Structure 1
Amino acid sequence: VEDTLFRIPKQHLVGKSEAFDSMLSLPQGGSEPEGVSDDRPIQLSGIKKIDFERLLQVLHPIDTTKQPELSVNGWVSVLALSSLWRMTVRKSAIEHLTVSLSQISPADRIVLGRKYSVAQWISSGCEELASRVGVVSLEEGERVGLSTALRIQHIRESNFTDCLQRSAVYGGSGSYYCGNCCHYHLCAQMYPSGQSFDLHTVKEKVGNLFEAELKDVEAEGAGFE
């Protein structure tokens, strides 16, 4: 990997990845397969050394009594390689990253969810972008794609309109009381701090507008199991 030779106990790879099972199997004719000696190492082209080292921390931990402590980026590296090589440790990487979603920006959740077939992350990212006070930035729109940004903005406008039509009552004090947000707001400032819309409503609308994509991603993710 990047001109670095790694010597790994075979048992940490065999049975945990179809790709490595194939690479370490004997070729026809009984000649020595790759990966059993320094003279014939398995060449992992296009793989970054840091990503491979992070994967090894999980496959071959120094302390076998506990899980390695990796950063969010570390677990993303593990997820990337375990997805590429269809390794069983992919499930563990997804679980660790799901617990740490608050450390991952909503746009990155959507991007990672699509890249590695994790529907829950896509939903989470869309829901946060659609429910927060701040609008989707240009940078976020570029990352998630125009279609996604437009659907998220549609949800925001829909909820804001519903909020005004059903729950906003104008008072003599020059402020609106929003029953959806349970706050009084000045005419020029309709949003409270924090969340701007009812999360249950946002979740439902995200599920409806992204239903087809989420189903496809769930099916792709199930293919790794």
Structure 2
Amino acid sequence: EEAKANWPVRRHIIVGIAEGLLYIHDYAHACIVHRDLKPSNILLDHEMNPKISDFGIARICLSSVTESNTTTAMGTFGYIAPEYYSQNVYSTRSDVFSFGILVLEIISGKRAIGSYKLSGRSYELRRYAWQLWKEKGCDELVDPSLGEDYQEMDIIRCIQVALLCVQDSAEDRPTMHDVTTMLSNRNRRLLMPAQPGSFNIDIGDTEEL
């Protein structure tokens, strides 16, 4: 079990999810927005290859840059993008947000909307991760079960990519094509993620919308 949880395996899962999203956004027969990306919808085979599952509330978009509206936001608190939660607007960038949350969970071993204290304040995971990244570096965010068996610069890069994915504005998030490039090409320069805002919801147990 420890071998399955090491950093190379976790990175393999992150890259696999990114490639899966890239496929449904850009290379499937039509552009598909999943709308409910979360841990329980990621299946792992015996080789720890991730498969995105449960397309029950997925929607087809005209293109990967198209925004669509819905009368009611559907998905899971903690993973749902701000524009979708507050304005019922979704696009492929909504999936990018959910992916970023997943990456932070995979790296930290923490839940998306748990309450994490830092400097006397409580934050949900994405704001907690940003505060650590900005103020203290990323060591405190990394799952302790990883020990020191990872390349620090690699994991910092993955955290920075995740923070770019969870930007408040959909326009500020990368596409999944950008994400896969940033993960595979370590020479690709990364932008600095802005401080995320907060949802007007309680940070308690995950609830279905």
Normalising by the smaller structure, the TM-score range is under 0.3
Specify which structure has the bigger relative contact order, considering alpha-carbon pairs within 8 angstroms and separated by 6 or more residues: 2
Q: Which has the higher helix share?
A: 1
Q: Which has the higher strand share?
A: 2
Provide the TM-score with structure 1 as the length reference.
0.23
Larger of the two Rg values belongs to structure: 1
